[in-house]
Amino acid sequence: MRISDVFVSSTTKPVRKMTKKFFLFGAGITGLISGLIAIVTFYGQFTGLFTLTMQRDAMDKGIELSVTRDFLEPKSTLSIEPMNEIGDMLESDIDVDAARNVDGQFYDERIPYYIAYTYYLRNSGKEMVNISYRLRVIDSYKGVDKAVKIRYIVEDLDTGEIRDKTYMKKGDNPYIIDEVLERFSEGAVKKITIFMWFDGEYTDASMFGGGIKLDMAYSILNAVVE
């Protein structure tokens, strides 16, 4: 179902037609351990935010998270606030520029059907490292894992280089994202914006009330020796 099936043009408040709905209750992005994104069934029970805490040994490596660029309050966990009644939409309807200009969670009042969250990753340690980041499907209801999309934008704040990539689940592989951030040098900072939504090009009526549970993990692969 496309977003045009949900909204109609009008000079008054748009009339919303019935569409497939999902509950997106919240997420946590946890440095080097994991963050949990939970989308439960429409009739599911709200259980609060899903977060995990960074382990001590990972924190000692000097990789830090922050919701602001100045890192005045570095965190081991960043939590995404719950969202209710998530419908399907199209990637072209995402307001990417507006979302990337807001630190933390961005709320699109025009199309409130996606999560957008901007945060910062810094290497405050004493060595260059390679970092793995993987996002996998833990559980899925009514086949909605075939319709969920993840867009991951990384900007190097030193060089201005931007990597922008959209992901979907492929076959039986539970990992939607399985990538490596290479040569993350001492003092380097990355600005990251992650988007999550159900794509209307892939949803169908059988997915109504479905849900999916995702886990995102950052981990150090190895130090880079030069």
Strand partners, 87: 21
pLDDT of residue 212: 77
Does some domain include residue 80?
Answer: yes
Both tokens of residue 31?
Answer: 């440095």
Band of pLDDT at residue 59, cut at 50, 70 and 90: low
DSSP classification of residue 53: P
- 10: burial class by Cβ within 10 Å (0-12, 13-18, 19+)? exposed
Does some domain include residue 156?
Answer: yes
> Which has the higher per-residue pLDDT, 163 or 65?
163
User: Mean pLDDT across the chain, nearest whole number?
Assistant: 75
pLDDT, tens digit (0-9, with 9 covering 90-100), for 76-101? 777 777 666 678 889 999 999 999 99
Chain Cα centroid distance, residue 128: 25
pLDDT of residue 113: 84
- Are the beta carbons of 109 and 14 closer than 8 angstroms? no
Mean pLDDT score, 5-34: 43
202-204-207-208 Cα dihedral, nearest 10 degrees: 130
Does some domain include residue 166?
Answer: yes
pLDDT, tens digit (0-9, with 9 covering 90-100), for 43-58? 222 223 333 334 444 5
Does some domain include residue 110?
Answer: yes
pLDDT of residue 10: 32
Sign of torsion, CA 119 55 32 94? negative
> Which has the higher per-residue pLDDT, 115 or 24?
115
Amino acid in position 161 = E
Does some domain include residue 124?
Answer: yes
Q: Which of 95, 103, 101 is nearest to 120 (CA)?
A: 103
Band of pLDDT at residue 25, cut at 50, 70 and 90: very low
Does some domain include residue 132?
Answer: yes
pLDDT, tens digit (0-9, with 9 covering 90-100), for 127-149? 898 888 888 888 788 888 898 89
Both tokens of residue 49?
Answer: 């935010």
pLDDT, tens digit (0-9, with 9 covering 90-100), for 200-223? 899 888 888 777 777 777 888 888
Does some domain include residue 13?
Answer: no
pLDDT of residue 161: 96
Phi, psi of 100 (to 5 degrees): -75, -15
Does 197 score more than 80 pLDDT?
yes
Does some domain include residue 27?
Answer: yes
CA distances from 21 to 18, 58, 121, 194 (A): 9, 38, 33, 21
What are the start-end ranges of the E strands in 31-128?
35-40, 63-66, 77-80, 83-89, 104-106, 115-123
Total count of domains within the chain: 1
Domain hosting 45: range is 3-8+18-221
